[in-house]
Structure 1
Amino acid sequence: MKGLALHGHEVVVITTDPMRDSSVKNYTEFDVSFTYKMYNEKFNFASSRDNKVSNEKLFEIFLDFGNDLCEGILSHPPVNNLISLNNTEEHFDIVFLEWLLTPCVYAFAHRFSAPMIGIASFLGFGVGRDSVGSPNLPAYSPEVFLSYSDHMSFLERVHSVWFLLWQKYHFYYTVLPWGSAHSTKHALPDDQLYLPQSSSLRSSSGPAR
């Protein structure tokens, strides 16, 4: 984003890690680092593993946290002012988003009638693959939340398929409806347009093996 600003583009960034570098012109940051505290209060992966919390339950918490994250970001006053329908001066040519499990922020692209590019720092989850039209083959390539290798036993393959089906059910019937309601609450378009919104994806972690 800094590179775009240095090349003369007007850039607005909503970030957990602001640069706070006033020497960069045409660059506006909205600091949402408070979401780190939200994350730390919600998750303790080591404790969950020690207490043998199931992968399904752990992932359910992870998915539901995406909604908490959305609400925290959309309610943040600078962000809320940015997306307000009363703010008719803002225009964006493109929207970059962290492509993960917070589909309500996809509505930013619709709010500003701009194309969206999703960027992922690790392999996508099954429901994320749906959003870019990538096929899911859980019996061949295990879900990233599972610890299986690419040489799964028959029962591991069955569990991987089950995990994906459960994930889809919870996401489409719990996470998306909640996110949709909160998007419209903040005057954003309905994020149920989840599937066609992710028009481009580049993952830095490479293909699954």
Structure 2
Amino acid sequence: MKCLFVFCFVLFSARIAVGVNILAVFFTPLDSYQKVFRPLWVELSLRGHNVTVITTDPVKNESLVNLTEIDVSYSCYRISDELALPNDNLRPEERVKLNVFGMSLPAFEAQVQHHQIQDLLRDSSNRFDLVVMEMTSSPYYGFAYLFDVPWVGVLPHSTTLASDRDVGNLRHPLLFPDPTVKSYTGRNIWMRLYLALAQLRLIYSYDYEIMPELDRIARKYFGDDMPYLGDIEKNVSIILTTHNFITSKPKPTVPALIEIGNVHLKKNVKLPQDLQKELDKATNGVIYFSLGSNVKSANISSQLRNVIISSFAELPYTILWKWETDHLPGKPDNVITRKWLPQEAVLAHPNVKAFITQGGLQSMEEAIYYRKPLIGMPFFADQMKNVRSIAEHGIGVALNTDTLTKEKLKSAILEVVNDKKYKEKISELSDLMWDQPMSGLDTAIWWIEYVIRHKGAKHLRSPLLDLPLYQYLLLDVLAFVFGVIATTLGLLYAAYIYTKPVIQGVVGKNKVKSN
């Protein structure tokens, strides 16, 4: 009995030691972001941690007794719905500013008025051991200062120029341009100049336009004693990123960057009965068409919509289209529309032959997992890069919405469905993607708890963060070398000037004597 008591006491003590208070901040009102973050806070609560999460998409699961959700969706989805799709002709820094000033800041200003967030800001009795935040530039970084705890950043996509710099992982502007930078094929001198200047403009804009404004807003709520917000951002312990070798090229990374792909996959999702019947009877094959949650099919131009509809009408397949309104003008008989679809369940159905996608990272991961070849139709941001990777890896065909015609779309669909090479290639990549020692979710939880156990991860900090840029680029060394060379040449030249008359005199006398 005594041994049993001791065993239970040790187990209980260990539980207390492991279970900590975590503040999670996932504030962007985009479903594609939230479905990546949601498994993290759910799993952390299931592991015994007390999790308080600020979110626009609460799970509302009463069985999660360790989870407190602050629902800030009440005004935020209006912001994302009203945000226009960025013009593809915008410069990279303009796109970043549109995201920050058009969505991140308005979302923060709306959410921070919530009474539960105000309680976090004002009640000094609140105690947390760790902050886990999406790494989308925001005044929310101030929470790490307010509670004086380490923080973990999470990215729902591959790293950006800003996030790489935060952990001292400088990216080469030619090999790994920021996702907002157009990366054209070819590397002539003009393209290399464009990529280098684009990176410099991004750095300037972020350091001297975006971050100062974020810092100004943060001080309104976290106090003037707060360190500069850019310094808090750079104090991140680790960054969890959904980068993978398929949608992004392999690149050197510092230990503080950890890849956690496929976190959001649920698997074994069931189709609604009516849709199950529709797909079961579509023995000729189904083409699934969805532009994700950020790009709504109902918002595309009428010209593009008519091109798509006219192409679908001539196909011998059933088309399942995620269409967000009650009526699709000119809908062909072979098209089925739904305002919302359980995408994983659709892709898992054996009659689905191909997936027309905007190139969202999560959609691509799901397609690769369920081995469905792709037709990429990108609109903005990292979709351009992701769709290029579809063609590069041979798992589908890339299309340009600006030059799309009925014939091009129809030809692309028929090619992807009927040419076995696309199915074989995506099956090969699926095997590669899933041959991992740990799942993405388990990897993420292990590293978050690693930061908890060690109260931060300063030992993973890159020494580059403490090195001035001119030293990293060896400008001082080059200046010294060129200085020595210039000084030596200058002295030699001066010596020659001063000794020239003497030399000429000696040479002249010798000539006279010889004559």
Matched length = 202
Measured in 2, the distance between the counterparts of 1:69 and 1:164 equals 27
Q: Does 1:192 align with 2:230?
A: yes
1:26-37 equivalences under 5 Å are 26-33=66-73, 34-37=75-78
Measured in 2, the distance between the counterparts of 1:193 and 1:56 equals 21
Q: Is the 8 A contact 1:15 1:29 kept in 2?
A: yes
The alpha carbon displacement at 1:70 in A equals 2.8
Cα distance change of structure 1 residues 164 and 73 upon mapping to structure 2, 3 Å threshold: farther
Q: Is the 8 A contact 2:97 2:210 kept in 1?
A: no
Q: Does 1:119 align with 2:154?
A: yes
Q: Percent identity?
A: 22
Q: Does 1:180 align with 2:215?
A: yes
Measured in 2, the distance between the counterparts of 1:158 and 1:139 equals 9
2:99 to 42, 46, 62: 62
Q: Deviations over 1:58-87 (max 9, x none)?
A: 332123233333323323332122122xx0
Where does residue 92 of structure 1 map in the other structure?
A: 128
Where does residue 2 of structure 1 map in the other structure?
A: 42
Cα distance change of structure 1 residues 152 and 78 upon mapping to structure 2, 3 Å threshold: farther
- The structure, 1 or 2, with the larger RCO (C-alpha pairs under 8 Å, 6+ apart) is 1
The alpha carbon displacement at 1:9 in A equals 1.8
Measured in 1, the distance between the counterparts of 2:53 and 2:216 equals 24
Measured in 2, the distance between the counterparts of 1:153 and 1:35 equals 44
Measured in 1, the distance between the counterparts of 2:128 and 2:143 equals 10
Measured in 1, the distance between the counterparts of 2:210 and 2:202 equals 10
Partner AA of 1:37 in structure 2: R
Measured in 1, the distance between the counterparts of 2:243 and 2:62 equals 32
1:77 to 107, 115, 122: 115
Measured in 2, the distance between the counterparts of 1:56 and 1:153 equals 23
Partner AA of 2:141 in structure 1: Y
Measured in 2, the distance between the counterparts of 1:132 and 1:160 equals 22
Where does residue 241 of structure 2 map in the other structure?
A: 203
Partner AA of 1:93 in structure 2: D
Task: Give the 4+ runs in structure 1 shifted more than 6 A.
Answer: none
Q: Does 1:44 align with 2:85?
A: yes
Measured in 2, the distance between the counterparts of 1:117 and 1:13 equals 14
Task: Tell me the TM-score normalized by structure 2.
Answer: 0.37
Q: Is the 8 A contact 1:97 1:117 kept in 2?
A: yes
Q: Is the 8 A contact 1:123 1:205 kept in 2?
A: yes
2:179 to 144, 148, 151: 144
Cα distance change of structure 1 residues 143 and 196 upon mapping to structure 2, 3 Å threshold: closer
Q: Is the 8 A contact 2:145 2:232 kept in 1?
A: no
Where does residue 332 of structure 2 map in the other structure?
A: none
Cα distance change of structure 1 residues 56 and 88 upon mapping to structure 2, 3 Å threshold: closer
Q: Is the 8 A contact 1:121 1:204 kept in 2?
A: yes
Measured in 1, the distance between the counterparts of 2:168 and 2:112 equals 27
Measured in 1, the distance between the counterparts of 2:186 and 2:177 equals 10
Cα distance change of structure 1 residues 28 and 113 upon mapping to structure 2, 3 Å threshold: same
Where does residue 23 of structure 1 map in the other structure?
A: 63
Q: Is the 8 A contact 2:50 2:67 kept in 1?
A: yes
Cα distance change of structure 1 residues 15 and 152 upon mapping to structure 2, 3 Å threshold: farther
Moved more, 31-40 or 93-102: 31-40
| RMSD after superposition | 2.1
5+ residue gaps, structure 2, are 1-40, 250-515
Q: Is the 8 A contact 1:118 1:200 kept in 2?
A: yes
Cα distance change of structure 1 residues 10 and 135 upon mapping to structure 2, 3 Å threshold: same
The alpha carbon displacement at 1:118 in A equals 0.6
The alpha carbon displacement at 1:19 in A equals 0.5
Measured in 2, the distance between the counterparts of 1:165 and 1:70 equals 28
